[in-house]
Amino acid sequence: MDDDNYLETFQEILRNVFFDERITIGRETTAVDVDGWDSLSHVRVLLELEKSFKTELRDAEAACAQNVGELIEIIKARRGE
Partner 1 sequence: MPDNPLPFEPHIDPRRENFVVIGSCISRAICFVLTLSEQFRSHFNVINYWSANPNNVMSDFKIDWNLLASAKVIMYHPPGWSSWGKEETYVKLAANISSNSLGITFPYPSLTAFWPFFVQEPRNLEENTIRNPMQHPRRFPQGDSYILAQLRKGEKSPSEIVEQYVNLDISEMVDLNELMLGNLMTMLSKEKETDIKVVDFIKENYQTKTCFQSAPHISNNIVLHLANQVLKKCGYAPLKESILDSYSELVMHEVPIHPSVIRHFDLKFLDEKYRYQVDFWWRPTFEEYVENYVRFL
Chain length of the chain: 81
Q: Binding mask 1-30 vs partner 1 (x if CB under 8 A, - otherwise)?
A: ----------------xxxx----------
**Residue 38 found at the interface with partner 1 (CB under 8 A):** yes
Query: For the chain, how long is the longest CA-to-CA vector?
Result: 32
Sign of CA dihedral 5, 44, 72, 33: positive
What letter represents residue 62's amino acid?
A
Q: Which stretch binds partner 1 (CB under 8 A): 4-12, 40-48, 72-80?
A: 40-48
Positions in the binding site for partner 1 (CB under 8 A): 17-20, 31, 35-36, 38-44, 46-47, 58-60, 63-64
